[in-house]
Amino acid sequence: MSELFLLAVRAQKYELVAKILKAGVVDVNFQDEVTGRAAIHEAALNLDCEMIALLASYQAELDLRDALGFSAFNHVVDAYDEGEVGFFPVIDLLRSLDSDHRTNMKP
């Protein structure tokens, strides 16, 4: 089920991803055994603000590192370096979510 979940994130199947998360049948922070990528990485690679927000609403960890040591933020910065369009809203969202996460952390 976890691999199907990552495929749904990659394919930007928002309703399916929401149903899977709501059912609680996968860990939102599941990481692929080979790449180490979690759903948050896949959404970042797609520059997909809507998916990132959905995953964050289910407590996706924004600072997870994949097998290469990259976080979701690193993948978005790489998209900028490669000339991808649309990375600014994703960076803004990740920064906002990270700030919210840090504000809500217990001391």
CA–CA dist 20, 29 (Å, integer): 13
Q: How far apart are CA 72 and CA 37, in angstroms?
A: 9
Q: Is a pLDDT exceeding 80 seen at residue 105?
A: no
As given in the structure block, the two tokens for residue 1 are 């089920």
Q: Sorting pLDDT into bands at 50, 70 and 90, what band is 107?
A: very low
pLDDT tens per residue, range 73-104: 898 888 766 666 677 788 888 888 876 554 44
Taking residue 96's Cβ as centre, other Cβ atoms within 10 Å add up to 12
- The distance in angstroms from the start CA to the end CA of the chain is 35
CA atoms within 13 Å, Cβ hemisphere of 97: 24
Count the neighbouring beta carbons within 10 Å of the beta carbon of residue 7.
13
How many angstroms separate the CA atoms of 96 and 103, rounded? 11
Q: pTM for this one?
A: 0.82
